[in-house]
Amino acid sequence: MKQNSNSPLALLFTISAFALTLAMPAPCLSGGGAREIYNHGLFLSMSGDYEGAIESYMEALNIEPNYFDALVSLGIAFGNIGKHEESVDAFRQALNAVPDDPEALRLLGGACFRAGQYKEGADSFRKAVEVKPDYALAYYDLGESYLGIRMYRDAAEAYASALAIDPRFAEANFGLGVAYDGLGMFEEEVVAYKSALRAKPDYALAWHNLGVVYIELGKYGDSVEAYDKCIELRPGYAKAHFGLGIAYDALEKYPESIASFREAVRLDPEMVEAHFNMAEVMTKTGDYEGARDAYGNGLSIKSDYPDAHYMLATVCLKLGDTDCALAEYKVLSEMDIAKAVKLYDLIYGDGAV
């Protein structure tokens, strides 16, 4: 069954959290009252109470309006609760207090991208590297930002700039691989992931994406090896088991494929594509009972999938269960008339199942 764009057999990338992952600034030696309130805000933020932290930071800023660390931390906290416009404003104020601080510029860049203010975001990242030319992390975050809005060529250029500063920056090589995928440059993508893995051999997501691109290139044996390595590092990672099932299916190793899909749905029972792909492989092996169950499980999660309803009906016909096939025909007649007509011909016509 053709994988849709939401399939787990997709490249994985994590947009850099920018402010979300920044270590909390060290307490500033401001006036006692503001500093104590700010430190309390840090404690709340590190405890995950971002709303409480925001209240503390704003209280500190009422005492000392240009308290740089409090402004930066306020931007971080707003970003953590999805208030990106407020995050942008806080970082702008921080830069008014301490102009050209490279870290604040980088954080402002990330906040702007999340707020949809792409030009200001890109300008902020560029300003950060003007102030600090060896700031590989700013180039990396610029790449992540471009990646998030699918500007793959710009993302690739930003990652390449980060790697020119730090060639062993594993995450930048990983991001470069994802950007190459968006550009359809699959051989270059493989090289990028391998570079990431040379720098960080236990980079499970890089092994996963390498498995994905090897499937794209038709290198199914290499894909199996990559997924196996990912699973060795992260045994509970359902998407890797799913990808392994796809690779084994392509190699016509059907028992191994079914076992991989079973593990994927054990780990993630809501992974509908694993249910449907397992059903398809079971059909190939003649396990029609198993296929019927797998299609049924998948459709209980995603009922608006005409192809799966049609395939379930054909499996029911293989089992001699016309009532089941007719039930699926009724569903299809309200969902996809072309497939319903095709199924009707299978049920009542001369067409072979």
How far CA 315 is from CA of 305, 343, 346, in Å, comes to: 16, 12, 12
How far is residue 155's CA from residue 183's CA, in Å, rounded to a whole number?
Answer: 10
* Under 8 Å between Cβ of 1 and 245: no
How far is residue 90's CA from residue 105's CA, in Å, rounded to a whole number?
Answer: 12
How far is residue 224's CA from residue 34's CA, in Å, rounded to a whole number?
Answer: 57
**Neighbouring residues of 327: CB distance < 8 A, sequence distance ≥ 6:** none
| Residues 12-63: tens digit of each pLDDT | 443 343 334 444 444 444 445 899 999 999 999 999 999 999 999 999 999 9
**Per-residue pLDDT at 155 exceeds 50:** yes
**What average pLDDT score do residues 95-109 get?**
95
- Residue-level pLDDT at 316: 96
* Under 8 Å between Cβ of 163 and 192: no
- Residue-level pLDDT at 32: 56
**Per-residue pLDDT at 287 exceeds 80:** yes
- Residue-level pLDDT at 242: 98
Letter string b/e over residues 223-259, b meaning 16 or more CB atoms within 10 A of that residue's CB: bbbbbebbbebbeebbbbbbbbbbbbbbeebbebbbb
- Residue-level pLDDT at 50: 96
Closest CA to 14 of 133, 143, 104: 143
| Residues 212-239: tens digit of each pLDDT | 999 999 999 999 999 999 999 999 999 9
Structure-block tokens of residue 282: 């079971």
| Residues 233-272: tens digit of each pLDDT | 999 999 999 999 999 999 999 999 999 999 999 999 999 9
**∠ CA(111), CA(112), CA(113), 5° rounding?**
90
DSSP assignment of 24-44 equals PPPPP---HHHHHHHHHHHHH
**Per-residue pLDDT at 324 exceeds 70:** yes
Q: Which single residue is written with the structure tokens 């830069």?
A: 95
**Per-residue pLDDT at 10 exceeds 60:** no
How far is residue 247's CA from residue 236's CA, in Å, rounded to a whole number?
Answer: 18
**What average pLDDT score do residues 320-336 get?**
95
**Per-residue pLDDT at 283 exceeds 90:** yes
Q: Place 148 in a pLDDT band, splitting at 50, 70 and 90.
A: confident
**Secondary structure (3-state) at 88:** helix
Please report, for the chain, how many H helices and E strands are present, in that order.
19, 0
How far is residue 74's CA from residue 50's CA, in Å, rounded to a whole number?
Answer: 9
How far is residue 147's CA from residue 267's CA, in Å, rounded to a whole number?
Answer: 29
**What average pLDDT score do residues 110-137 get?**
92
* Topology, domain 14-133: 1.25.40
Average pLDDT, the chain: 90
- Residue-level pLDDT at 350: 59
How far is residue 331's CA from residue 150's CA, in Å, rounded to a whole number?
Answer: 37
How far is residue 146's CA from residue 157's CA, in Å, rounded to a whole number?
Answer: 10
- Residue-level pLDDT at 353: 53
